[in-house]
Structure 1
Amino acid sequence: MAELLVIRHGQASFGQDNYDVLSDLGHRQSESVGALLRELDWQPDRLVTGTLKRQKDTLSSMGFDTAPEEHAGFNEYNFDDLLNARFKGNVPDMVIGDRRTHFRALRETVFEWQDAAFDGASETYAEFAARVEAARAFATDTEAKRVLVVSSGGVIGQLTATALGADKRHMMELNLQVKNTAMTRFMFKGARCSLHEFNATPHFMSPGGAALLSYS
């Protein structure tokens, strides 16, 4: 069996004009998980990211200089686009400016998206699920024994729910749990892919490391 290690990107710039940029904390989180992998002598044979800057910069800050392969299926769903579709362009100010309201709206909006309760989004949930599965197939169609992927929380939630055979709602419950630079590990052989470890952050399990913990 081979390993597929999927790491969520480091903390991005929540509330800023360009979310797709790592914060200073995001860079430190990435350095920490990269140092842990080297300490464990876990050397990837293949590197893959989505096309998002925060994903590629996470890999770089982890200390991997080799240019990764890219697959857009590992990109996050576009939450701003979903909000605009759900609220028909009139997104309430609290959804944008208040963190608690934002994440409650995220959960509710994704559930409605899964049920096709609104239209106008650039991607349906079915299309999102299909591209994530295509990305997984791309990453595991290899002779490599250790594949490292940097992706995003929604994608990791979808990959995990699929591996568990869980219903679509479970994808979002998992999504909201995924910590920045958490490691989710799958074992694969051919078309078989099973969950081995979810949302692990041993690099935060010290007094100093605990200060690096974030979810967004």
Structure 2
Amino acid sequence: MPELFVVRHAQASFGAANYDVLSELGHEQSFALGKALAAQGVRPDAFFIGAQRRHRETYEGIARGMGLEAAPATIHAGLNEFDFKALLDAHYRHTPPPEHMHTERKSHFRTLRDTVLAWQRGDVIDPPETWQAFTARVEAARKTLVAAQGQTVLAVSSGGAIGQMLAACVEAPSAQQIKFQLQMKNCAVNRFVFSERNFYLHGYNETPHIDASNADTMLTYS
């Protein structure tokens, strides 16, 4: 059966003025992942990325690691992350926000979890994107990926979009999406196998480029 690899972007720049830029470590992670996938014999014949800079930079590192520097990738905005900063701001538009929710990791991810659950329930007034619109565009992206002409498809996306794709695949409740998202490692690989009628989860949150010798530096979540 054809196989789809959906990769979360490498480490971005949490707390910086522009999150949407890979850190120095992020560039190392993406290159190392590309080398590891090539060593596994992965040879994609179709590539997709979201429209965000961290997706493109991660893809470029993976391609270099695989020795495919000139390989083109198709952009699909359905693979983009939801605007988590704007969503948090919308949720706390009329109430005092938790301290350091945009700058301190523990506070940010705890608050993000609660905010996403409220978003799913429809309790965030005037969000930057409705939950229904988000899930619809992720599903549209998935359909595009599996319709690509190729036996092996590789896509680079973000934790929220991948979490939703995973939750939909296993027919889990909406609340499972944020659980998948918050567990997602940088440069983690999620594998699916598919046919015209079926779409199955085949591997979750894999990091073939990380082992005991480099985990202390290479394993990150944000």
What interval of TM-score do these two structures reach, taking the shorter chain for normalisation?
A: over 0.9
> What's the counterpart of residue 133 of structure 1?
139
Give the deviation of 1:166 after TM superposition: 0.3
**Residue type of the alignment partner of 1:148:** L
Deviation at 1:67, TM superposition (A): 2.3
Q: 90, 98, 103: which is aligned to 1:97? A: 103
Partner of residue 193, structure 1:
199
Structure 2: where are the runs of 5+ without partners? none
**Counterpart check, 1:77 vs 2:82:** yes
Instruction: Quote how far apart the aligned CAs of 1:156 are.
Output: 1.0
My pick for the range that moved more, 62-71 or 44-53, is 62-71
**Which residue of 150, 160, 164 maps to 1:154?**
160
**1:204–1:211 contact (8 Å) kept in structure 2:** no
3-state SS of paired residue (2:218): coil
Partner of 1:30: 30
Deviation at 1:209, TM superposition (A): 4.4
Q: How many residue pairs get matched?
A: 216
What is the aligned partner in structure 2 of residue 87 from structure 1?
92
Aligned residue in 2 for 1:52:
52
Q: TM-score, normalised by structure 2?
A: 0.94
Displacement of 1:158 in angstroms is 0.5
- Give the match for residue 214 of structure 1: 220
Q: Secondary structure at the match of 1:190?
A: coil
Contact 2:15 2:104 in 1 (8 A): no
2:100 is paired with a residue whose SS is: helix
C-alpha deviation, 1:179, in angstroms: 0.1
Quote the Cα distance in structure 2 between the aligned partners of 1:13 and 1:142: 32
The equivalent residue for 2:117 is 111
SS in 1 for 2:123: coil
Q: 2:98, 2:111 within 8 Å by CA — same for their partners in 1?
A: no
Change (3 A) 1:17 1:100: same
For the aligned residue pairs, the C-alpha RMSD in angstroms reads 1.3
Determine the C-alpha separation between the residues in 1 that align with 2:135 and 2:97: 25
Q: Gaps spanning 5+ residues in structure 1: where?
A: none
**Which one-letter code corresponds to 2:147 in the other structure?**
D
